[in-house]
Structure 1
Amino acid sequence: MTTIAPSRPLTAAGYPRGFKWGVSTSSYQIEGGHDADGRLPSIWDTRCRMQGKIANGDTGDVACDHYHRYPEDIALMKGLGLDVYRFSVAWPRVLPKGKGRVNQKGLDFYDRLIDGVLEAGIEPWLCLYHWDLPQALDDLGGWPARDSAGWFADYAALCCQRYGDRVKHWATFNEFAVFTLFGYCIDWSAPGITDREAHLKAIHHVNLAHGMGVDVIRDLVPGAVVGAVHNRQVVWPEKDTDADRRAAALLDAHWNKAFPDPQLLGHYPDLIAESIAPYVKAGDMAQICRRTDWFGLNHYGPIFAKDDPNATWGFHWGAAPDDADKSDIGWPIWPAAFRDELIGLTKTYKLPIYVTENGMGGNDKVDDKGEVNDATRIRYLTLYTDAMKEAIAAGADVRGYYVWSLLDNFEWGTGYQNRFGLVHVDYETQKRTAKASYAWYRDYIKAARAAE
């Protein structure tokens, strides 16, 4: 483990003074109300209606019904003693066709949500895009179309003009690499295209959209604090072979570098730069590389790569070692990788880091006493917060930590079978039950604050 100097002064709990504690959610995963008050379909509504794409045929039509039950969910956030609630706006709720006619009822919903969060003493952090592109825009070419950057900038302007008086922390996108790689290269996400050229165009145009979005936010929101949310996990070869090492290096370029490198360093990673070059026009890289104020990190555990000559890029997901520590849903638990990622990000990008997602999926059930004793999640959160403190002590500039997620929710291709929430949701009755991890996190925050 490398140490970076100087590190910031730490409190007795091992965190910088003013460290922010929060939770994260996303619109499609919790809101429901898929056709309420003028909302039109997103690409995820479409995917959920494709046979065999989502486990058990689940959809986000109702999800956690947050659209109607948000006051109850804000009360749960207040009970945790949070500083921050990171959420996303559903583009097709406020602009049903992605551009053109504005849906006032959709805009009104986020007014109510933001006002309620502020009244609870919690800071709203608004993410503009968490994967739910309006289907009408996908019909016009989606992210592979260069016009998509302009569509996004116009959407960002609408949100800034409406909410910028109350929301000061803004993220352009959530997990750029996930929705582009899985949506246009590996058929694990909407819109489910597997085409090398479409994937490359999507990467570049999403990067352009980010840069244009940063400019819009700065122009329209006085005092805006602007960032973006990146998925970052170390990529290791499944087997100790040259082929798997090459696969790991290429997946690392796509997964970890294709977005933060151009956005923050001004260039694409070497392994993919030549492939993207045909789609880069004069001035594009300057438009992409705009000043931001913070780096959002979503991290769960390392990933493994294997050579696959039949795959679009010649790599595919590999398996973790059989003896690796794993969560209930089979994801590797590797806190040292989290610690090292935080240290490495500080050295590479030199921005304050907010851990915008970290958490563990399980198969949690309410027991006969009406309780949810998710001891494995508490263990995971303990291991990872300990690793985060190690990184901070070594000089990593980490300023906040937001658990994924407040609620059990629609987890994309796995539907409702994987539960990540601090709060259990009975999807038939919509009853919320705070889990043991909810109490653990509440007490952890309280103790950390007491040590300041």
Structure 2
Amino acid sequence: MSFPDGFLWGAGTSAYQIEGHHGRGESVWDVFCRRPGAVEGGGDGSRACDSFVRWREDVELVKELGLGAYRFSTGWSRVMPDGAHADPKALDHYERFTDALLEAGAEPVLTLNHWDMPASLTWAERSSVNAFTSYAQAVADRLADRVTWWITQNEPWIIALLGYQLGLHAPGVADLGTAVKAGHHVLLGHGAAADVLHAFPGTKAGAALSLFPCDPATGSAADRAAARGSDGYVNRWYLDPLLGDGYPADMREHWERALGHGLDFVRDGDEAAIGGRSDFLGVNYYTRRVMAAAPPDPFPWKVVGPSGDVARTDEGWEINPGALRDLLVGLSRRFPGTPLMITENGGVFGDTPTHDGRVHDDRRIAYLRDHVAAVESAIEAGADVRGYLHWSLMDNFEWALGYRPRFGLVHVDYATGARTVKDSGRYYARLIAGGGQAPALPRIEAFG
């Protein structure tokens, strides 16, 4: 395999998922986790991986694996506990952490909002954009002289869908109209934060979108229309205002029908304040959606697959590296001139230490190898991909799913905090050292 010079090989985490409380302000997730039944197993992020204290160990892991990049987030509720005023001690911590990453040879990829907004704020209100702008300014004032890659917002669709439409994530609101409005405010926050960042020479600002290729279940016109509608709902509603010419007309019409009124929260000038500010696009890819037509309630489509005997993670998600390849090629053709970075890609595999003390997660090794090969194939087909950041560096708190799913290259014993590099982490280190060449492991069979 061959990858461009300067290609970033790395992994990612987020503050709430690994840090533990340790003096941060209350976030919307702290409040949400106290709801009975909100989190599988009743867990929360009060301890997580204890990384706020054990951050030096985490930097050593980054160094041991030879990662050239590390994606992390500054905890919004830590930096601005009350949502309005910055805590210098929190910024001191992230400054030390960033310096340590650079000393370890890892490029920092910094996420500003990875879902842990202060409990005093809500994306349902437009005022959250101003609060986010102040937060971005506080972090940039400290770190923009050392951090090139900035992710403003992580997965706007998931914030809107799970946080405000279905109520399955913080803040636990279940209202369709509020969800659409919240998603718009998240995008406005991206534009405002990007303007802050671009005042600092050399910074690159982008948003990380959860992108799901949408395929029709059959060749029928109805199922093809369902896949197109799903693509608008999941992908284009966010891609187009960020990288294109504003919100797509077909989805604007859909929302007006579904809500029974116009989108009056999209004010004159809003789309111009969102677009034209992305120096790159972060691509979070896990799987695809197979769609069929359905009665509109409120969507005239439904997810029906993939079904049958396909390779899956332990969470039941289809493993389809080919869809990643096609996604990257399609994005580069649709938005030429916008570099791409894989900001999340990974799978749930529940392997734990065996009698020899090691974690033999062969399925994650095959997953890694096959998805990296898909990225290389996309680059050969003309996609401008600048990096691959595996999700995640270590097992961590997986939001409403609690501590059951394990995504990490590093196993975490949550009772003790002990870290153990899995076989997949060792494999990834060898792959990085080889410039993207997959080490020969004949006992590992490819998926699919």
The secondary structure found in structure 2 opposite 1:135 is coil
Distance 1:415 1:310, change over 3 A: farther
Residues in 2 aligned to 1:309 and 1:47: alpha-carbon distance in whole angstroms: 33
1:214 alignment partner, SS class: helix
Query: Alpha carbons of 1:30 and 1:312: their partners in 2 closer, same or farther (altered >3 Å)?
Result: farther
Helix, strand or coil: the match of 2:120? helix
Taking the aligned partners of 1:410 and 1:43, their CA distance within structure 2 comes to: 15
Render the CA deviation track for 1:295-317: whole Å, top value 9, x for unaligned: 11110111234666695545554
Distance 1:24 1:49 in 2: 26
| Cα pair 1:425 1:433 within 8 Å, conserved | yes
Name the residue aligned to 1:18. 6
Name the CA distance, whole Å, in 2 between partners of 1:267 and 1:240. 30
**In structure 1, what residue type is equivalent to 2:229?**
L
- What SS is found at the alignment partner of 1:347? helix
Q: Give deviations 1:44-97, integer Å, cap 9, x for gaps.
A: 111111111111111111111111001001000001111111111111101011
Structure 2 distance, partners of 1:243, 1:199, is: 27
RMSD of Structure 2 on Structure 1 (CA): 2.0
Greater CA deviation, 254-263 or 398-407?
A: 254-263
Q: CA deviation at 1:319?
A: 3.6
Partners of 2:436 and 2:378 in 1: CA distance: 19
* One-letter amino acid matched to 2:434: A
Between the aligned partners of 2:140 and 2:391, the Cα distance in structure 1 is: 25
Name the aligned partner's letter for residue 374 of structure 1: D
CA drift at 1:214: 0.8
Q: 2:134 aligns with which of 131, 143, 154?
A: 154
CA separation of 1:56 and 1:436: change in aligned 2, threshold 3 A: same
Residue in structure 1 matched with residue 58 of structure 2 by the alignment: 73
Find the partner of 1:396 among 358, 378, 383: 383
Moved more, 50-59 or 231-240: 231-240
Partner of 1:10: none
Deviations 1:271-302 (A, max 9, x none): 32233642221211111113322111110111
Consecutive unaligned residues of structure 1, counting only runs of 5 or more, are: 1-12
Asked whether the 8 Å contact 2:86–2:135 carries over to 1, the reply is: no
Contact 2:345 2:390 in 1 (8 A): yes
Question: 1:45: which partner in 2?
Answer: 30
Gaps spanning 5+ residues in structure 2: where? 257-261, 439-448
Q: Is the 8 A contact 2:2 2:436 kept in 1?
A: no
**Partner SS for 2:252:** helix
Structure 2 CA distance, aligned partners of 1:308 and 1:363? 35
Q: For residue 286 of structure 2, what is the aligned residue in structure 1?
A: 300
| Higher mean displacement: 312-321 or 182-191 | 312-321
TM-score with structure 1 setting the length = 0.90
Q: How far apart, in 2, do the equivalents of 1:312 and 1:115 lie?
A: 49
1:87 aligns with 2:72: yes
What SS does structure 1 have at the residue aligned with 2:109? strand
Specify whether residues 450 and 200 from structure 1 end up closer, same or farther in structure 2 by C-alpha distance, changes over 3 A only: closer
Q: 1:238 to 1:192 in 2, by over 3 A?
A: farther
Q: Which residue of 2 aligns with 1:123?
A: 107
Return the alpha-carbon distance in structure 2 between the equivalents of residues 308 and 52 of structure 1: 30
Q: Deviations over 1:397-437 (max 9, x none)?
A: 11111110100011111111110000000000111000000
